[in-house]
Amino acid sequence: DGGITQSPKYLFRKEGQNVTLSCEQNLNHDAMYWYRQDPGQGLRLIYYSQIVNDFQKGDIAEGYSVSREKKESFPLTVTSAQKNPTAFYLCASSILGTGEQYFGPGTRLTVT
């Protein structure tokens, strides 16, 4: 089955710990994106990548880091510098030129 997978579905961490969220796609899409969604709010772009070994900051990159070592994978690390990390994190991918983004199931991160 082709698609985007994110793991885990739920993640709990203590304040001060870094945590890495996984995103994998087997759609052969060039571009991958990370968003954050807070209750009752829209999606805010954290980072995106259009090619392996290259990525750009989105609107709210502070406190986050990413890597794109393989076309299929775009992991997001939430660092201890992120002030309010508790949120629903969504990964998406797209074929460049279409604009159509397809989302994974999301990871719900709770930091206490």
Instruction: Between 25 and 101, name the residue whose CB sits nearer to other proteins.
Output: 101
Residues 11-44 as b/e (b if ≥16 CB within 10 A, e otherwise) read: bebeeeeebebebbbeeebebbbbbbeeeeeeee
Instruction: Between 38 and 81, name the residue whose CB sits nearer to other proteins.
Output: 38
Cβ at position 16, least distance to other proteins in Å = 28
Q: 61: which 2 tokens?
A: 């990159």
Q: 110: which 2 tokens?
A: 């709770």
Cβ at position 34, least distance to other proteins in Å = 11
Which residues form the interface with other proteins (CB under 8 A)? 31, 33, 40-43, 45, 48, 50, 56, 58, 90, 94, 96-106
Instruction: Between 78 and 92, name the residue whose CB sits nearer to other proteins.
Output: 92
**Category of 50 on φ-ψ map: left (φ > 0), alpha (ψ -120 to 50) or beta:** alpha
Cβ at position 81, least distance to other proteins in Å = 23
